[in-house]
Amino acid sequence: MIQHDVPLVRLNTFKLPCVAERYLALTDLRQLEGPEFKQAPELVLGGGSNMLLLDQVPGLTVHVSLGGVQLLTPVPVRKTSSSLDTGTLIVRVAAGVDWNQFVRYTLDQGWYGFENLILIPGTVGAAPVQNIGAYGAEIAERIEAVHVWEYGIGVRVLTPEECEFGYRDSRFKQEPGRFLITAVDFRLNGKHELKTGYGAIQTELACLKIDNPTPNDVALAVTNIRRSKLPDWFFLGNSGSFFKNPVVPMSVHNRLKTEYEDLPSYPINPGHVKLPAGWLIERAGLKGMRNEAVGTYEKQALVLVNHGSATGREVLNFSESVQAGVLTKFGVELEREVQVLGVSTV
């Protein structure tokens, strides 16, 4: 049933005041056959992370609340899948399932592959849109298929190739209003294939005095790292990383390296390098900066926070001042990772 003028302040991790003109909770796939899904709604809402909501969302907001986790047997492995063995598991997860709860569930079940992605806010359905990633892993590496409702067409199942995944990017992000994700099939393992090459993980494992880590040890290390650097949105509104780490030509990297010898960098290919946006923001003198109710987090400059009464417009304006500061200091443009949605009413 459609509701009108529904507050969304508790349904977005930034805790921004916003009102949905019309609101519908999607709890059953049969609802997709209704007239509301003949065309794309104004907003498809999952866990409310990775978005910046302005004062009002006109039109229809669909809150995807589909639940369920299913281990598929026999395993329907695609012919194009590689490096598969008897330890491979295919798990189908409904789009409304909380991502962090799902990761913890996989560890409890002995299904491995997502230990590096623990404690990321949001839902399973939103994860492929952003191709979420952290600490040397990203979700695209584990996706076997994405189940979608294509507006005007109906049910489809997309392969990873059809999803066109890139760094914090996907076809779903590039073609907004075309698909609604209903479930995702993940390829996990019944044996360990750990990714511990990321420096922060190695440091934390050493602090924990763990020489031969298990997936649960890696998950613990990542949890400790994230909690030490990132605010809990329940207490301090935020959307996690607000900006993407910029990828710049090698010539730009070399220019900056001559001036800043401690500049961290991560080669992408022979001609391009990824720079940490948090480092750039901090070195521009913007870490911990605050403008009334909006600021950069004191422990991680990449995160913008709502100190309690900020509006979406205030956060957006503040983010633009951060972008301008980095551009002036380094000549590097920062791109927002979050999506700006809705309209301002003032």
With a CB cutoff of 8 Å and minimum separation 6, the contacts of 93 are 68, 69, 70, 102, 124, 183, 184, 185, 186
CA-to-CA separations, 212 to 12, 55, 202, in angstroms, rounded: 39, 50, 11
Q: How far is Cα 246 from Cα 243, in angstroms, rounded to an integer?
A: 8
In terms of Cα–Cα distance, which of 22, 17, 13, 20 is closest to 46? 13
- Helix, strand and coil content of the chain, in percent to the nearest 5, comes to 30, 30, 40
Point out the residues that are catalytic.
168, 241, 337
Q: Helix 215-229 vs helix 99-109: angle between axes, to the nearest 10 degrees? A: 150
Tracing tokens 């190695």 back to the chain, one arrives at: 202
Three-class SS state of 223: helix
Q: Are 215 and 109 in contact (CB under 8 A)?
A: no
E strands present in 50-120 = 51-53, 56-64, 69-71, 88-94
Q: What is the DSSP letter of 244?
A: P
DSSP states of 39-54 as a string?
S--SEEESSS-SEEE-
Three-class SS state of 2: coil
* Residue 158: strand pairing partners: 146
CA-to-CA separations, 140 to 113, 137, 144, 272, in angstroms, rounded: 11, 9, 9, 21
Q: What is the DSSP letter of 10?
A: G
CB atoms within 10 A of CB 45: 25
